[in-house]
Each structure stands twice: as C-alpha cells, then as structure tokens.
Amino acid sequence: MQQLPDINDVYRARERIAAQIHRTPVLKSRTLNRLLSAELFFKCENFQRTGAFKFRGALNSVLALDNNLALRGVTTHSSGNHGSALALAASVRGVPAYIVMPTTAVDVKRRAAVAYGAQVIDCEPTLSAREAGAAEIMRATGAAFVHPYNDPRVIAGQGTIALELREQIRLLDTVIVPIGGGGLISGVALALKALAPNVRVVGAEPTSADDARQSLAAGVLIESQEPVTVADGLRTSLGEVTFQMIQRYVDDIITASEEAIIRMMRMVWERMKISIEPSSAVPLAALFENRDSVPGTKIGIVLSGGNSDLSNLPWK
C-alpha cells in the first residue's frame, strides 16, 4: 500500500514545478452566472502546457526522481493527455520517455508525444497489452513507471491547482472537479481541505461512467465496465490510492447526462470563447442537472483540459 500524500507534498510539488508550469487564469462568464444564479470561477487548465492539468503531476513525478533513476527514463501507457504530459516532463528534465500507446489512440496525441521527443511504442488496445508493453519497456531500459493518477506524486502535482485557485479567488463555497481516475480531485480535495476546510469539494462524473459515485456509496472500489461517454478522459476507474483520497476528502459526487455534457461544452466554447474537451464540461453539466443548492453560491470549476479533435466535435 502506498502512503497517501498530504499538504506538504503539494507544497513540495509546487516548489519543483513552478518554473515550468503555467499559472493558469481564472475566467468568469456573465451568461453562465445568470443562467445558474450563482458566481462561477473557471480555473483554466485547458491553458496549461500540453493542454491539460496532467502536466503538473507528470512533471512533479519526473522531477522527484533521483538522478540515477531519472537518467534511465520514464514510461507509461496512455492514449490521452498523460502520455504527452509525461513526454514533455521528460523533455524538461532531459531524460528519455517511452509512451506505450494503443493503436486506436487518435493521431494528434501520438504526434504530440513524438513532438515532445518521446519514443512511442504501439500496442493492442487492451489494458493487458498496455501493461505488458510498459513492463517490457521497464525490463529493457530500467525506465521508471509513472502512473497517470494512482500515484502520490502525481496527486500532489495536481493539488497545486488548488493552491493557485485559493490565491486567485477567496471565499469559494464549493469547488467542482471532474473524476476519471481520480488524480485531479484527490490532489485538489487534499489541498483544499487542509487550507479551507469549509469549502465543499464535489466530484462530477458522466452518469454513464459513475464508478466513483458508486464506489463512494458502496464503500468499496467498483470498476466501471467499458463505459460509453463522450467524456473520453473520464472513462477510467479509480485506483486504490485515489479511492482512499476521495473517501477521505470529497463531500459529494454529482453526475451529468451525455446531452448536458455536449450542450455545456458547446456553451463554454460559444460564450467564453475557449476550447474545452468534453471532460471539462462535466462539472458544469452536472451543476445544471443538480442545481438545488446552487443559487447564491460561489463555485470554483476546474476546466481540466482543452484537447479536442476539431474535425470531430460532438455536435452537428
């Protein structure tokens, strides 16, 4: 069992990564405030380097490795944002990155990892093939495995978002964060509960991929079974570490229909003029579908990323 990260790990993560990450802005929208009768503050990790929050955790992990280990490089398996994040993190440290990618990964993700200097290794699109591919890399190169979420250093890196948000906006009532593997909400919730225990931390999932909500309700880790959702970043199930963190620090989990996710993604693009990926729209969509206690409150929303395929947007 890995040790759970605490607030000091988040502070250390910030020290490590501050020079290389963007301190992302917080945006507001009159239209959305009016529609919800609330005051919303959007923490824009879609503007983070590599286009997603994942770079924070990946960079913290890579920079925390001791020199001998780091020189052998890092590896992961990923079809999404963690792969390019780890590729750039390794490039920042000047060490090799080996990214195992299923052949079904969209081409733009593959090109992003290659552009950051990573070696991309193809594998069949199954979890066992991905894990076998990474294990083979580790044997052959001695590279360190960096898990996309179930890792205390990755979680501590994502928690730096909450440190920034606290400095940017005081007196929030609630912060809402999308849940896929749970790394993002684990870090954010950990930091907020240490710094501002009165802030409610709420997770948001697609209704069709609500493994975290089910797990929290049941008290045991329940994995999702090939969920079908437009929010491709949220199809993953929790890990042992992130499940414990969520049990400890998260107040509630709310869900959003596919229709609302697509509608809110489009509304953010149209009204706020920023690109967000479907996963980033899930907290807002869940708010619209669970709005009883929303009016009159101040709500922070983490927009987790902005990497969409512009040739294949989820609306007509």
Element (H, E) at 93: helix 81-93
Min dist CB 44 to its own copies, Å, is 8
From 7-15, 79-87, 133-141, 274-282, give the range in contact with its own copies by CB under 8 A.
Answer: 274-282
* Set 54, 78, 84, 109: catalytic member: 54
Q: How far apart are CA 251 and CA 174, in angstroms?
A: 10
35 lines the binding site for its own copies (CB under 8 A): no
Q: How far apart are CA 42 and CA 89, in angstroms?
A: 25
Q: How far apart are CA 230 and CA 132, in angstroms?
A: 27
Alpha carbon distances (Å) from 288 to 32, 245, 256, 259, 264? 10, 26, 8, 12, 9
Decide whether 253 or 301 has the Cβ nearer to its own copies: 301
47 lines the binding site for its own copies (CB under 8 A): yes
Q: How many residues does the chain have?
A: 316
Q: How far apart are CA 46 and CA 268, in angstroms?
A: 12
275 lines the binding site for its own copies (CB under 8 A): yes
266 lines the binding site for its own copies (CB under 8 A): yes
The secondary structure of 180-191 as a DSSP string is: SSSHHHHHHHHH
Note the maximum CA span of the chain: 57
276 lines the binding site for its own copies (CB under 8 A): yes
Decide whether 3 or 311 has the Cβ nearer to its own copies: 311
269 lines the binding site for its own copies (CB under 8 A): yes
Coil/strand/helix, residue 301: strand
Q: What is the CA radius of gyration of the chain?
A: 18
Which of residues 107, 226, 270, 292 is near its own copies by CB under 8 A?
Answer: 270
26 lines the binding site for its own copies (CB under 8 A): no
Decide whether 207 or 304 has the Cβ nearer to its own copies: 304
Min dist CB 45 to its own copies, Å, is 10
* Set 61, 78, 215, 304: catalytic member: 304
Q: Which residue has the tokens 């824009």?
A: 44
25 lines the binding site for its own copies (CB under 8 A): yes
Alpha carbon distances (Å) from 285 to 134, 208, 254, 293? 35, 13, 10, 15
279 lines the binding site for its own copies (CB under 8 A): no
Min dist CB 276 to its own copies, Å, is 8
Decide whether 41 or 98 has the Cβ nearer to its own copies: 41
Is 304 catalytic? The answer is yes
Contact residues: its own copies, CB under 8 A: 25, 30, 44, 46-47, 49, 51, 108, 266, 269-270, 272-276, 306, 310-311, 313, 315-316
Active site (catalytic) residues: 54, 304
